[in-house]
Amino acid sequence: MEITAKQLASYLSGEIEGNPDVSVNNISKIEEGQPGTLTFLANPKYAPYIYTTKASIILVNKDFIPEQAINATLIRVENAYQCLAQLLTLINQSKPRKSGIGSLVSIDSTAVLGENLYVGNFTCIGKNSKIGNDTQIYPHVYIGDQVKIGVNCILYPGIKIYDGCIIGNNCILQAGVIIGGDGFGFAPKETGDYQKIPQIGNVIIEDNVEIGANTTVDRATMGSTIIHRGVKLDNLIQVAHNVEVGENTVIAAQTGIAGSTKIGKNCMVGGQVGFAGHIHIADGIKIGAQSGISNNLTDHSTPYLGYPAIPARQFARASVVYKNLPELSFEVSKLRKEMEELKKNIK
């Protein structure tokens, strides 16, 4: 679909600098831009490419100040990254929508199905489960008994949702997600082996949540593991039993959250972060990648980094010292020997 700079600027409430009639039919990365494509600049790291890209139209923030001539047409917007997301959403919505129920599905007679569904082959839907309108369920999805799934959800192939779990509206679960597997609960016995603790709770996922591929969210021992509205979980994340993740929190890949930890609203968590169990993370906390969180975090005025996690600036200073530890160790040993010699001479 061809679209002109003038049309784009009107749709995005932007201001044009350059040829308003230039048109594009695709989107490209700024460093790989080609004629006839739209690109964007949001990260200053990529600013040098704006002068060399061959893209025809570039979305930039209104406060962008060029240092030299730019060949492409610019569209200045309040937030280039958000505008790109808006355009990509529009493109995605224009794709043909799957519909209909495959001939090789297993749906219990007590299940309640909404309207305008897509259910792919080899999907299983259990007893007394309810699926909302406009939801798309791709092949090889297992939905247990008494599961509730809201409207306009997308469940990609290979997802497993265990009995009694609840999925809200407008949720997206990527391939391989497992919702409601048993939490890791075992009681040590005097004989040295372990007694399994039955996990009789469930998982509640509220509206507008997206969960990345092969992420697992365990059911609660009692009560519910809760992922609140607007949360975005990346791929390969482990959420243990009775964890609670607050609204609009985002968590990057390979993070592990131990049981009964509570993470607040609007937090940002980097990749490979490990959370100990039974701790509380306040609203608005930011945590850098590969950090270890062993205690409560309450101060949202500073990001945290390291293991155990400390304020990021303090971690940066400590890293400099750590890098110099071999030399410092050598100097300390040298000074110790000199002091011993001095003591001998004094005696």
Between CA 227 and CA 265 the distance in angstroms is: 11
Active-site entry in 140, 228, 241, 278? 241
Cβ(233)–Cβ(252) below 8 Å: no
Q: What is the pLDDT of residue 346?
A: 84
| Same fold yes or no, 3-93 and 100-314 | no
Environment class of 163 (CB within 10 Å of its CB; exposed 0-12, middle 13-18, buried 19+): middle
Give the integer Cα–Cα distance in Å for 227 and 245: 5
pLDDT in tens, 85-105: 999 988 888 888 889 999 999
Exposed / middle / buried, residue 52 (Cβ in 10 Å: 0-12, 13-18, 19+): exposed
Instruction: Give dist(CA 204, CA 212) in Å, integer.
Output: 16
228 among known catalytic residues? no
Domain chopping of the chain, boundaries = 3-93, 100-314, 316-346
Task: Pull the structure tokens for residue 249.
Answer: 């929190």
pLDDT of residue 334: 87
User: pTM (2 decimals)?
Assistant: 0.86
Write down the CATH number for the domain with range 3-93.
Answer: 3.40.1390.10
Average pLDDT over the chain reads 95
* pLDDT reported for residue 97: 86
pLDDT for res 322: 78
C-alpha to C-alpha distance for 347 and 344, rounded to whole angstroms: 5
CATH class of 100-314: mainly beta
pLDDT at 37: 96
Question: How large a percentage of the chain has pLDDT more than 90?
Answer: 86
**pLDDT for 210-220, tens place per residue?**
999 999 999 99
Average pLDDT value for residue range 53-65: 96
Q: What is the pLDDT of residues 132-166, one digit of tens each?
A: 999 999 999 999 999 999 999 999 999 999 999 99
